[in-house]
C-alpha cells in the first residue's frame, strides 16, 4: 500500500487537495518549486499566491460563484475558510488581503503534520507511474513538467494558450432577430445566426476597432499571435475584412426580409444541453467591459448574458473531456488526478473546487474503496465537474455560471428569481448528498 499521495503545485487547487487528503490522516508530499524557481507571473514565496485580482467575486448565492463558495463552505474547504478570515470590505463580494491570505494558507499547510512541503520543481518521473498523484500546476506549468504531461496525455491534448470567444446564455438571445440555420440550408441547423444590415454592421465595426484592449504580459504575446488572430485585429485590416471572414453572409437569407443580410454572426452550441452558445470567430483581447459594451451592439445580443468573456493569454490546459472523468481522475491512468486551471476550470474558486474534488477522490483511491465521489449536476461543483468531463469538440476553459446547470422544470422568466431557484435547488441537492 502507498505510504503517501503526491500533490504537484502549491497554488489554490494544490493546497486544497493537500488539505482534503491530510485531514483523512494520509501523508502528503506537496511539491512547490518556489522560491528556487518562479513562473513569469509569481513573485511571492508563500503558497496559494494570488497573482491577479484579490476578489473571489460575489458572496450572494444568486451569483454562480457565490453559490459555489457556499457549497465549498459546507464541504469544509480550507481555502474558502481562510479567505473568509482574511477578507477585506468589498460590499457583497468576498475580497481578501492577498498577503495575509497566502501567509495564512502557508501556515496552515506547513503546520499540518500530515503534509510535507518539498520546495523544489517536481522531476521525479517515477512517481508519475508508481504513486497516486495530483497534478495542480496551473496555467504556467514549467517547461519540464509540461513535457511530462505531454507524454501522459498525448501532446495534441495539451494547449499552451487560451484563445476563446465569449460564451452567452441562450435564454438571453433575442430570437425575434436571431434564427437557427446553416449555410445554404445544409447541416442540421445547429447554429444561431445574427443578421445585420449595412448600418448595423458599420456601427458595430466602428465600436469594435476603437475599443480598449487588455494588456498582455510579455511572455504571453508571442504564443498568442502565432496561434490565432483577435477579431479586433482582423477588423483593423479593413472595413470589409470581417464580412469576407467570420461574418460572411453568403448562404443565408434573413427570415424577416427574405434577403441576404449585409453581414452575419454565428453562435455555436457550447455545451451538451444547449444552454450556452459561443461567438464563432470572436477570439478577442478586448477588456471585459468593452466586450459587454461592443458585442451588445449586435442585433439580437442587446440583452445578452455573457457567462464567459473572450480571453487570449498563456494558459496551459489539457483536453479534459477526453482525458478526465467527473472526479478529475485520468481515464487511462487511475493513479493520476489533475486539479486547477490546468483542467480547464477558470477562476480562483473554481480551482479550489477542483482541488477539493480531486483530493477527496484521491483519498478513496488510496484507501482502495473502489468508490468515486461525485456531486449532483444540480450543484455548481457537480455541474462544473461534469462540464470538464463531457465530450466537447470545442472545449475551452469555463468558470462557474448558471448556464451549466440543468434547466428548472418550471421556466422562470425573471432572471433574479430563476437564479435564486437554481441556487436553492443546488443547496438542497448538496444537503441531501452530505
Q: Which cell numbers hold the place of 123?
A: 522531476
List, for residues 68-88, the tens digit of each pLDDT value: 999 999 999 999 999 999 998
Which is it for strands 192-196 and 5-8: parallel, antiparallel or unpaired?
unpaired
* Banded pLDDT at 164 (limits 50, 70, 90): confident
Cα–Cα dist 261/186, whole Å? 18
Is it the case that residue 224 has pLDDT exceeding 50?
A: no
CATH class of 5-163+315-433: alpha beta
Is it the case that residue 237 has pLDDT exceeding 70?
A: yes
- Position 395 scores a pLDDT of 84
- Position 263 scores a pLDDT of 96
Q: Which cell numbers hold the place of 303?
A: 440583452
Enumerate long-range contacts of 252-255, CB under 8 Å, 24 or more apart: 252/181, 252/183, 252/193, 252/195, 254/179, 254/195, 255/179
Give me the helices (H) in 270-402, please. 288-295, 320-323, 348-366, 380-389
| DSSP notation for 37-69 | S--TT---SSSS---S-SEEEE--TTSHHHHHH
Residues 6 or more apart from 14 whose CB is under 8 A from it? 7, 8, 30, 32, 47, 134, 136, 137, 339, 340, 355
Is it the case that residue 122 has pLDDT exceeding 90?
A: no
The helix (H) or strand (E) run that includes residue 12 is helix 12-22
* Banded pLDDT at 321 (limits 50, 70, 90): very high
- Position 139 scores a pLDDT of 65
168 or 126: which carries more pLDDT confidence?
168
* Banded pLDDT at 225 (limits 50, 70, 90): very low
Q: Which cell numbers hold the place of 21?
A: 487528503
Is it the case that residue 37 has pLDDT exceeding 90?
A: no
In this structure, whether the domain defined by 167-309 belongs to CATH 3.55.50 is answered with no
Q: What is the average pLDDT across 34-63?
A: 76
* Mean pLDDT of all residues belonging to the chain: 87
Q: What is the average pLDDT across 221-232?
A: 60
Cα–Cα dist 70/58, whole Å? 11
Cα–Cα dist 86/73, whole Å? 15
pLDDT more than 90, % of the chain: 61
Best mean pLDDT range from 43-57, 223-237, 419-433: 419-433
- Position 226 scores a pLDDT of 39
Q: Up-side HSE of residue 250: CA atoms within 13 Å toward CB?
A: 6
242-to-180, 268, 402 alpha-carbon distances in Å? 21, 18, 31
Is it the case that residue 220 has pLDDT exceeding 70?
A: no
Residue written as cell 476563446?
164
Is it the case that residue 223 has pLDDT exceeding 50?
A: no
429-to-27, 147, 408, 433 alpha-carbon distances in Å? 31, 40, 13, 6
Which is it for strands 93-96 and 55-58: parallel, antiparallel or unpaired?
antiparallel
Best mean pLDDT range from 186-195, 211-220, 386-395: 386-395
Lowest mean pLDDT among 36-40, 71-75, 193-197, 342-346: 36-40
412 or 183: which carries more pLDDT confidence?
412
Residue written as cell 448528498?
433
**Domain 5-163+315-433 and domain 167-309 have a common topology:** no
Q: What is the average pLDDT across 140-169?
A: 70
The answer to whether the beta carbons of residues 106 and 46 sit under 8 Å apart is yes
- Position 280 scores a pLDDT of 87
Is it the case that residue 99 has pLDDT exceeding 90?
A: no
* Banded pLDDT at 297 (limits 50, 70, 90): very high
Is it the case that residue 222 has pLDDT exceeding 50?
A: no
| DSSP notation for 71-124 | HHHHTT-HHHHHHHHTEE--TTEEEE-HHHHHHHHHHHHHT-TTEEEE-S----
All structural domains of the chain with their residue ranges: 5-163+315-433, 167-309
Is it the case that residue 33 has pLDDT exceeding 90?
A: no
Is it the case that residue 227 has pLDDT exceeding 50?
A: no
Closest alpha carbon to 7 in 351, 350, 358: 358
Q: Is 221 in a helix, a strand, or coil? A: helix
Is it the case that residue 338 has pLDDT exceeding 90?
A: yes
* Banded pLDDT at 350 (limits 50, 70, 90): very high
Q: What is the average pLDDT across 190-200?
A: 93
List, for residues 368-408, the tens digit of each pLDDT value: 999 999 999 999 999 999 999 998 887 888 899 999 999 99
Which is it for strands 28-31 and 5-8: parallel, antiparallel or unpaired?
parallel
- Position 141 scores a pLDDT of 64
Count other Cβ atoms within 10 Å, centred on residue 50.
20
The answer to whether the beta carbons of residues 193 and 178 sit under 8 Å apart is yes
The answer to whether the beta carbons of residues 362 and 416 sit under 8 Å apart is no
Residues 279, 284, 290, 294, Cα dihedral to 10°: -40
382 or 42: which carries more pLDDT confidence?
382
Amino acid at each position: 500500500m502507498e505510504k503517501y499521495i503526491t500533490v504537484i503545485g502549491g497554488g489554490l487547487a494544490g493546497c486544497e487537495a493537500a488539505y482534503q487528503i491530510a485531514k483523512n490522516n494520509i501523508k502528503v508530499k506537496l511539491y512547490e518549486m518556489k522560491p528556487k524557481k518562479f513562473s513569469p507571473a509569481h513573485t511571492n514565496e508563500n503558497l496559494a499566491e494570488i497573482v491577479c485580482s484579490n476578489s473571489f467575486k460575489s458572496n450572494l448565492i444568486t451569483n454562480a460563484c457565490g453559490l459555489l463558495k457556499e457549497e465549498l463552505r459546507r464541504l469544509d474547504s480550507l481555502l474558502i475558510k481562510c479567505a473568509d478570515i482574511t477578507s477585506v470590505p468589498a460590499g457583497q463580494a468576498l475580497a481578501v488581503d492577498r498577503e495575509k491570505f497566502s501567509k495564512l494558507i502557508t501556515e496552515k499547510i506547513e503546520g499540518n503534520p500530515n503534509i510535507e512541503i518539498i520546495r523544489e520543481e517536481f522531476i521525479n518521473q517515477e512517481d508519475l507511474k508508481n504513486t497516486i498523484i495530483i497534478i495542480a500546476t496551473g496555467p504556467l506549468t514549467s517547461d519540464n513538467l509540461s513535457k511530462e504531461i505531454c507524454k501522459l496525455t498525448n501532446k495534441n491534448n495539451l494547449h499552451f494558450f487560451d484563445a476563446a470567444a465569449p460564451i452567452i446564455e441562450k435564454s438571453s438571445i433575442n430570437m425575434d432577430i436571431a434564427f437557427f440555420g446553416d449555410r445554404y440550408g445544409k447541416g442540421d441547423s445547429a447554429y444561431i445566426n445574427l443578421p445585420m444590415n449595412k448600418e448595423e454592421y458599420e456601427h458595430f465595426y466602428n465600436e469594435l476597432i476603437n475599443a480598449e484592449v487588455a494588456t498582455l504580459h510579455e511572455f504571453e504575446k508571442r504564443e498568442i499571435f502565432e496561434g490565432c488572430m483577435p477579431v479586433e485585429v482582423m477588423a483593423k485590416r479593413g472595413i470589409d475584412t470581417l464580412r469576407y471572414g467570420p461574418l460572411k453572409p453568403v448562404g443565408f437569407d434573413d427570415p424577416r426580409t427574405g434577403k441576404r443580410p449585409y453581414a452575419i454572426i454565428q453562435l455555436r452550441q457550447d455545451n451538451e444541453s444547449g444552454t450556452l452558445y459561443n461567438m464563432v470567430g470572436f477570439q478577442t483581447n478586448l477588456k471585459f467591459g468593452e466586450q459587454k459594451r461592443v458585442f451588445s451592439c449586435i442585433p439580437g445580443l442587446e440583452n445578452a448574458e455573457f457567462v464567459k468573456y473572450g480571453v487570449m493569454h498563456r494558459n496551459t490546459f489539457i483536453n479534459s473531456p477526453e482525458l478526465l472523468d467527473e472526479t478529475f481522475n485520468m481515464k487511462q491512468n487511475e493513479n493520476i488526478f489533475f486539479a486547477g486551471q490546468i483542467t480547464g476550470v477558470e477562476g480562483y474558486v473554481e480551482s479550489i473546487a477542483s482541488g477539493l474534488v480531486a483530493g477527496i477522490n484521491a483519498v478513496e483511491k488510496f484507501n482502495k474503496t473502489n468508490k468515486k465521489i461525485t456531486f449532483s449536476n444540480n450543484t455548481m461543483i457537480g455541474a462544473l465537474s461534469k462540464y470538464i468531463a463531457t465530450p466537447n469538440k470545442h472545449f475551452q476553459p469555463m468558470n462557474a455560471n448558471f448556464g451549466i446547470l440543468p434547466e428548472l422544470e418550471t421556466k422562470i422568466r425573471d432572471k433574479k428569481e430563476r437564479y435564486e431557484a437554481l441556487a436553492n435547488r443546488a443547496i438542497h441537492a448538496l444537503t441531501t448528498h452530505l
